[in-house]
Amino acid sequence: MRVLGIESTCDETAAAVVEADAAGRGKILSNAVLSQIAEHAAYGGVVPEIAARAHIDALDPLIRRALDEAGCTLADIDAVAAAAGPGLIGGVMIGLTMGKAIALATKKPFVAVNHLEGHALTPRLTDGVEFPYLLLLVSGGHSQLISVEGVGEYRRLGSTVDDALGEAFDKAAKLLGLPYPGGPQVEKAAALGDPERFEFPRPMAGRRNPDFSFSGLKTAVRLEAEKIAPLTDQDVFDLCASFQAAAVDVIVDRCRAALRLLAEKPPTALVAAGGVAANGAIRRGLARLCLESGLQLALPPIGLCSDNGAMIAWAGLERFRLGFVDGMDFAARPRWPLDSRQDPRWHGKA
Ligand code: KG4
Ligand code: ZN
């Protein structure tokens, strides 16, 4: 079974072809990603209109490239999947409409994929992880701990009450004068700094519910930076290292809280996904936690942590083989919580 996947919910335009063998094991045949970082860098963040226009320019040739690299044509594809949200609505509509158009023209089934489900199911593609597993989803827009109990069966155990973790990394970077996107820059600077020089708060640590809060941590960095300004390079390195150490402690503590909630029916693995899951210090923190709790750890390769088409193709494939297909009337969704028990009109941060 082969599925073409299209992703355009934020600032990456992506298309990929993924297949599953008879035993259900996944294989990536191609994964073409075009990052728009350079187009948004001058503004210090993603500009929705620029993103939408860039998706229009990039998508056609990118889909062709994905098919060519996979060595197939549209005739060899069994279904077309596109991310239908959550994300920036202009971009979502472009990829979604393209996916529907290809499906319609080639008379193939169409599958609308929740972008977060793409992140959530990636470790099944890369590591063949079995349900149920505990998912730490940390990206620019989301920080959640989710019990993944089946395809389409997600139980949210906790989420952020304010900023997402990637957002906190990006904001900390910005106030320290590091370029956008800040997460990888903070990690690089932190490698040269002293994580113990500043004692930043560990928000929510010790609480029973595995929720997150990051805005206080970001504010603590700002206050400290203002106190010691003008900043030397070493100050910036130390601020980044201390910030990152606090973030890692919080993540590990919150995962522990989630594992306690799942004690009666323990997960098969701890899985991390989303752009921030590329962070080496966080990966090492999770590895320590899994070692101490005897849990399997599944960390997708860094290129599959950030947004890509393979994750959409794979989630589409998992849905399609269970018989889920969608109609041409499936509308783009700017908000689309993974946990279906949650009111989709909810406007808080997820
Ligand atoms: O999943 P993603 O590519 O896009 C969203 O769906 O949000 O995540 C992007 C986020 C950005 O906030 C970026 O700064 C952060 O992930 N990020 C990192 C690292 N690489 C990307 N944060 C910390 N350390 C990194 N190495
Ligand atoms: Zn994402």
Q: State pLDDT tens for residues 240-298.
A: 999 999 999 999 999 999 999 999 999 999 999 999 999 999 999 999 999 999 999 99
For residue 350, pLDDT beyond 90: no
- Produce one character per residue of 100-116: b if its CB has 16 or more CB atoms within 10 Å, e if not: bebbeeeebbbbbbbbb
Single pTM value for the model: 0.92
Q: Among 231, 252, 233, 230, which Cα is nearest to 297's?
A: 252
Q: Which atom of ligand 1 is nearest to the CA of 9?
A: 6
> Which ligand 1 atom is the nearest neighbour of the CA of 173?
14
Residue 342 pLDDT level (bands cut at 50, 70, 90): low
Q: Which residues surround ligand 2, an ion (CB under 5 A)?
A: 139, 307
Alpha carbons 311 and 301: distance in angstroms, whole number: 12
Ligand 1 contact, 95 CB (< 6 A): no
Q: For a ligand 1 pocket test, name from 117, 279, 306, 311 the mutation site with the most ligand atoms within 8 angstroms of its C-beta.
A: 306
- CB of 163 closer than 6 angstroms to any ligand 1 atom: no
The DSSP secondary-structure symbol of 130 reads P
Substitution candidate for ligand 1 out of 139, 144, 188, 214 with most atoms within 8 A of CB: 139
Task: Identify the CATH number of the domain defined by range 131-299.
Answer: 3.30.420.40
CA of 279 to the centre of ligand 1 (A): 8
Q: Is the CB of 183 under 6 A from ligand 1?
A: yes
pLDDT tens, position by position, 297-306: 999 999 999 8
Given this model, what pLDDT does residue 180 score?
84
| 340: confidence class by pLDDT, cuts 50, 70, 90 | low
Query: For the segment 121-168, what is each residue's pLDDT rounded down to a tens digit?
Result: 999 999 999 999 999 999 988 899 999 999 999 999 999 999 999 999
On the question of pLDDT at 347 being above 70, the answer is no
Q: CB–CB of 137/146 below 8 Å?
A: yes
User: Which ligand 1 atom lies nearest to the CA of residue 139?
Assistant: 8
Going by CA atoms, what residue is nearest to atom 13 of ligand 1?
183
Among 196, 168, 169, 164, smallest CA distance to 185 is for 169
CA of 274 relative to ligand 1 center, distance in Å: 7
Nearest to 160 by CA among 256, 83, 250: 250
78: left (phi over 0), alpha (psi -120 to 50) or beta: alpha
Smallest CA-to-CA distance from 140 within 45, 55, 5 is with 45
Instruction: Please work out whether the CB of residue 306 comes within 6 Å of at least one atom of ligand 1.
Output: yes
- Cβ–ligand 1 distance for 99 under 6 Å, the answer no
The length of the chain, given as a count of residues: 350
Q: Give the CATH number of domain 2-123+304-320; options: 3.40.720.10, 1.10.287.130, 3.90.600.10, 3.30.420.40.
A: 3.30.420.40
Regarding the beta carbon of 5 and ligand 1, being less than 6 Å apart is answered no
Q: Mapping DSSP to helix (H, G, I), strand (E, B) and coil, where does residue 165 land?
A: helix
DSSP letter for 148, please: E
User: Cβ-count burial of 72 within 10 angstroms (0-12 exposed, 13-18 middle, 19+ buried)?
Assistant: middle
The 8-class DSSP code of residue 143 comes to E
Between 45 and 139, the higher pLDDT residue: 139
For residue 142, the ligand closest to its alpha carbon is 1
Q: What is d(CA 85, CA 114) in angstroms, rounded to the nearest whole number?
A: 6
pLDDT digit string, tens, across residues 30-40: 999 998 888 88
R_g of the chain, CA atoms, integer Å? 20
pLDDT for res 43:
84
Ligand 2 center to residue 119 CA distance, Å?
A: 7
Asked if residue 26 has pLDDT above 60, the reply is: yes
Span 93-125, pLDDT tens digits: 999 999 999 999 999 999 999 999 999 999 999
Tell me if 214 CB under 6 Å of ligand 1.
Answer: no
Judged by DSSP in three states, 222 sits in helix
Indicate if ligand 1 lies below 6 Å from the C-beta of 318.
no
Atom of ligand 1 nearest to the CA of 11: 4
Q: Pick from 34, 26, 24, 96: which is nearest to 64 by CA?
A: 34
From-to residues of CATH 3.30.420.40 in the chain: 2-123+304-320, 131-299
Which ligand number lies closest to the CA of residue 36? 1
When pLDDT is cut at 50, 70 and 90, the band that residue 348 belongs to is very low
**pLDDT digit string (tens) for 66-93?**
999 999 999 999 999 999 999 999 999 9
